[in-house]
Structure 1
Amino acid sequence: MEERLLQVGETVRYARTSSLEALYEGYLNFHHLTLSPRASDKRIILESGINAVAPLTAIDGARRPAIVIRSSPWKAGTEDTPWHDEFDLDHGHIRYFGDHKVTTIGPVGSTRGNRALLEAWRLHTSTSSAERASAPPLLVFAARPEYVGGRRIEKGYLDFAGVCVIERLEFVVQRDPRTGRSFPNVVVDLAVLSLDQNDEVDWNWINDRRDPSRTALDSLNRAPDSWKTWVRRGRVSIPSLRRRVMSSRVLSRADQLPEPGSIEAGLLEAIYHFFDDKKHAFELLASRVAAWVLDAQGGNYSEQWLTRSGGDGGMDFVGRLDVGKGAGSSPLVVLGQAKCIKPDSSISPDQVARLVARLRRGWVGVFVTTGVFSHQAQVEIVDDAYPVVLVSGGRLASTVRRIVHESYDGDVQSLLREVADTYESHITHRRPEEALTTA
């Protein structure tokens, strides 16, 4: 049987066309890639965000072959896409919002997509290897605009993001930016699994899962090794199976800043100018941004206090990060450093080293700036494996945009004024380890 290989990052062309040729307009044709050898199998379509392949009854019971997700992260924050899907493929993480909308009638799970996610969540968190074998893999594509002949095309170009397992599912409340009304939804944290050396998956694995004459275990033959290991061992194996691209942790200056002319670029300039003459107040905004960043990465972060200006010795704010749940949770001290500098300025290795020097065993550092981190500063963090999260101007701006969208009706000035007005009340003189004893 012909191999149907798909590489992470590869662009596929999806169009409403009957063409089944291998290439379409020079790109891998999605319809050819996903074509089943059985004429009775319907074509997989991507007309929704969550596209659940039809379930079947195989010789060993019912199963859903796969769930194919199409996200449009570039449209985040628009009226069509009010949520913000997060893609961090270099660290094997995707945060994806379900398909419940403000116009949806019925509880969460009444939509076809969310219902499929809830069904998959039950199997992905099962302690039974037999149930995990029947669990549908999530194959995620990120839509993006493409310029063809000088014309911007916003539909039909999809970058493959990988094969995923659901790590966590939450019920959330979102606000529709057009009407201001709130509505419930689900959000899932997906672990992007490592594939083979070429970062490829064979779509024939999914075709095997669509074959009712095969058992769920038989259909594992062409599955990625990481998926097979997950089926055998379950959730405990996910950290070792997660996709990681270490070299890409060192980012260029352009990658650390918003795209010129974008909403985030204007937002970053507004933040810098607002705090330029009151830089200490920026520490409170940095603390809030750190909370959002660490929460998005799967932790449970709580803000604690700001340190007194002038004597911080490399730390501006203190937080607490609880890893795990219940009796198995472990609290960690988070030390934060904040620097409000011109967006085109760089943070040097010496400035990052001041924060690193304050960290004790088991503590975590966060450095938030309106600028960028120099190449050498990043290299030292990566090479020495320091537990420090770097938040540059681009990430700061995108996070602040989410904060004001969720809690300030999109008014960034309301957030900045509140930060400036309440900054003094958050300052205290306490030892960082006292954060471990707070409720």
Structure 2
Amino acid sequence: MIGELRVGQVLRYPSSQDPQQPTLDGYPNFYHVTHSPGLKKALLTSGINGMAEVDTPDGVRRPAILIRSSPWKAGTEQTPWHDVFDLDNGHVRYFGDNKPGLSIAPDSTTGNSTLLGTLTAHQGRTPEQRAGAAPLLLFRAVSRNGKTKGFVEFCGIGIIERAERLVQWGGSDHSTFVNYVYDIALLDLTAENDVVAWKWVHARRDGNLSHAETLELAPETWRKWVKQGSSALPALRRRVARAKVTKAPAQRPEPGSTSAKDLELVYRYFDGRKHDFEALAAAVAAHVLRGAGHAYHDGWLTRRSGDGGADFVGRLDLGRGLAGTSLVVLGQAKCVKPDTLISAEQIARVVARLRRGWIGVYVTTGAYSESAQTEMAEDQYPIVLVNGAELVRRLRSMARDDHGGDLTACIDHVLSSQQISVTSRRPEEILLE
């Protein structure tokens, strides 16, 4: 049985190189997972481990290149560089294998020669040129059971985006030497549940199979890259932030449900009443922030024109006295049809106003596009997004607590008793109250 590699999985890398045992010391056995019956073992003995090329009906093909980084060696005389593995954003910066004291050209070392040759294929201009390109399987050494050796973490499959020739310091005499550093894009494996099936690599090692036949076993993003080329990498790159994205239907109440009727009621009530909806949004934002156990102080609504990307202002108090601080809360309200998607550009208007120590709140009767959510998560913007489903859930909670479950009475009460003033004050003035 041919195994599989899961991103983030730690494997035992034993010195025995025995593939028979599925697990060792409670961890999957690297040699068992990567075993290809009748073929040589996959190895991580060097930093850059190119599998032997095979002759195929489409020409020579290298099945894969296994990359290993040893963070515990970084900064030593033997390994003076520091590789960067940013798995959340799908980027690896990996240094080549030239070292101080070697007398050969930096592009002639075994590893650099292999990766530079692969770079040419990774930059192929046609699908036919890219189809035979070798995938990079990336690993990094990790410590387990008090040991710094014998364990590796699988980090995914990569494509070389660029190579840079640079001068480094190293060796016992701290002399300079020339080496290469590679920027590698890690591909998104969401469609495969973050798993790479070894049968794909195994098939690439079979000289009887064409590139097209092996491509059928490849991860979805690898197939798309072969078809579309490097211009598609931004959309194919691994982004952990995508896991935080909520699909639009999940941001709306179930069609025909009571919540869906509530949302329609709210939309019709405030359609064409922008400023009234801003007051409601401010009350909902306060409910959201106070519900998280924070002390929230109501501020004011901005004037109808010239709000500069903010509809209401509040203050979030954390701690007390010297052990506390306060944050300006800048809010945006948008009453739109429930099937409307709020774009990244619309949210960016609020984000552009935020200063250090400020947070944003966006309240809408619609939903947020996937691209907007991804951008907010990847750039780590301090903004709270309240969609249509969450809006009516909060209103229902407020109505249940104070108005016997009457949603309309709750809304009328919020508007009639709203003590928030309308002003053109600067947001930072809230910190003085």
- TM-score (norm: length of structure 1): 0.57
1:328-339 aligned at under 5 Å gives the runs: none
For the pair 1:219 / 2:217, whether they are aligned, the reply is: no
Q: Contact 1:366–1:389 (CA<8 Å) still a contact in 2?
A: no
Cα deviation 1:313-334 (Å, max 9, x = unaligned): xxxxxxxxxxxxxxxxxxxxxx
Alpha-carbon spacing, 1:389–1:219, altered in 2? closer, same or farther (3 Å): closer
Q: Secondary structure at the match of 1:185?
A: strand
Cα deviation 1:268-324 (Å, max 9, x = unaligned): xxxxxxxxxxxxxxxxxxxxxxxxxxxxxxxxxxxxxxxxxxxxxxxxxxxxxxxxx
Alpha-carbon spacing, 1:4–1:387, altered in 2? closer, same or farther (3 Å): closer
Alpha-carbon spacing, 1:202–1:384, altered in 2? closer, same or farther (3 Å): closer
Aligned-pair RMSD on alpha carbons? Answer: 3.5
Q: Contact 2:7–2:154 (CA<8 Å) still a contact in 1?
A: yes
**Which AA in structure 2 matches 1:46?**
L
**Aligned twin of 2:140:** 142
Cα deviation 1:17-61 (Å, max 9, x = unaligned): 142221122211111111113x2x211211100000011112221
Q: CA deviation at 1:221?
A: 1.6
For the pair 1:7 / 2:14, whether they are aligned, the reply is: no
Give 1 or 2 for the bigger CA radius of gyration.
2
For the pair 1:76 / 2:74, whether they are aligned, the reply is: yes
Q: CA deviation at 1:185?
A: 0.7
Cα deviation 1:166-205 (Å, max 9, x = unaligned): 1111111111163211111111111100112521010110
Distance 2:40 2:135 in 1: 18
Distance 1:228 1:190 in 2: 17
Distance 1:112 1:367 in 2: 50
Q: Contact 1:364–1:387 (CA<8 Å) still a contact in 2?
A: no
Q: Contact 2:192–2:219 (CA<8 Å) still a contact in 1?
A: no
For the pair 1:239 / 2:234, whether they are aligned, the reply is: yes
Aligned pair count? 278
**Aligned twin of 2:160:** 166
For the pair 1:65 / 2:63, whether they are aligned, the reply is: yes
**Aligned twin of 2:102:** 104
1:365-376 aligned at under 5 Å gives the runs: none
Alpha-carbon spacing, 1:215–1:247, altered in 2? closer, same or farther (3 Å): closer
**Which AA in structure 2 matches 1:84?**
H
**Which AA in structure 1 matches 2:174?**
G
**Aligned twin of 1:201:** 196
Q: CA deviation at 1:346?
A: 9.9
Q: CA deviation at 1:12?
A: 0.8
**Aligned twin of 2:117:** 119
From 200, 205, 214, give the equivalent of 1:210.
205
Q: CA deviation at 1:76?
A: 2.3
For the pair 1:156 / 2:123, whether they are aligned, the reply is: no
Q: Contact 1:13–1:157 (CA<8 Å) still a contact in 2?
A: yes
Cα deviation 1:130-165 (Å, max 9, x = unaligned): 121111000000101112xxxx21111101000001
1:291-306 aligned at under 5 Å gives the runs: none
Q: Secondary structure at the match of 1:153?
A: coil
Identity %: 40
**Aligned twin of 1:260:** none
Q: Secondary structure at the match of 2:201?
A: helix
**Aligned twin of 2:181:** 187
Q: CA deviation at 1:223?
A: 0.7
Unpaired stretches in structure 1, ≥5 consecutive residues:
250-344, 354-359, 392-439
Q: Secondary structure at the match of 1:219?
A: helix
Q: Contact 2:241–2:374 (CA<8 Å) still a contact in 1?
A: no
Alpha-carbon spacing, 1:168–1:42, altered in 2? closer, same or farther (3 Å): same
1:208-287 aligned at under 5 Å gives the runs: 208-246=203-241
| Runs of 4 or more above 4 Å deviation | 345-353, 363-368, 376-380, 382-391
- TM-score (norm: length of structure 2): 0.58
Q: CA deviation at 1:216?
A: 1.3
1:334-353 aligned at under 5 Å gives the runs: 350=328
**Which AA in structure 2 matches 1:11?**
V
**Which AA in structure 1 matches 2:83?**
D
Distance 2:163 2:325 in 1: 36
**Which AA in structure 1 matches 2:196?**
V
Distance 1:188 1:364 in 2: 34
Alpha-carbon spacing, 1:352–1:28, altered in 2? closer, same or farther (3 Å): farther
Q: Secondary structure at the match of 1:217?
A: helix
Distance 1:346 1:114 in 2: 53
Q: Contact 2:63–2:135 (CA<8 Å) still a contact in 1?
A: yes
**Which AA in structure 1 matches 2:6?**
Q
Alpha-carbon spacing, 1:57–1:153, altered in 2? closer, same or farther (3 Å): same
Deviates more, 1:161-170 or 1:75-84: 75-84
**Aligned twin of 1:90:** 88
Distance 1:364 1:19 in 2: 57
Q: CA deviation at 1:87?
A: 0.9
Q: Contact 2:95–2:180 (CA<8 Å) still a contact in 1?
A: yes
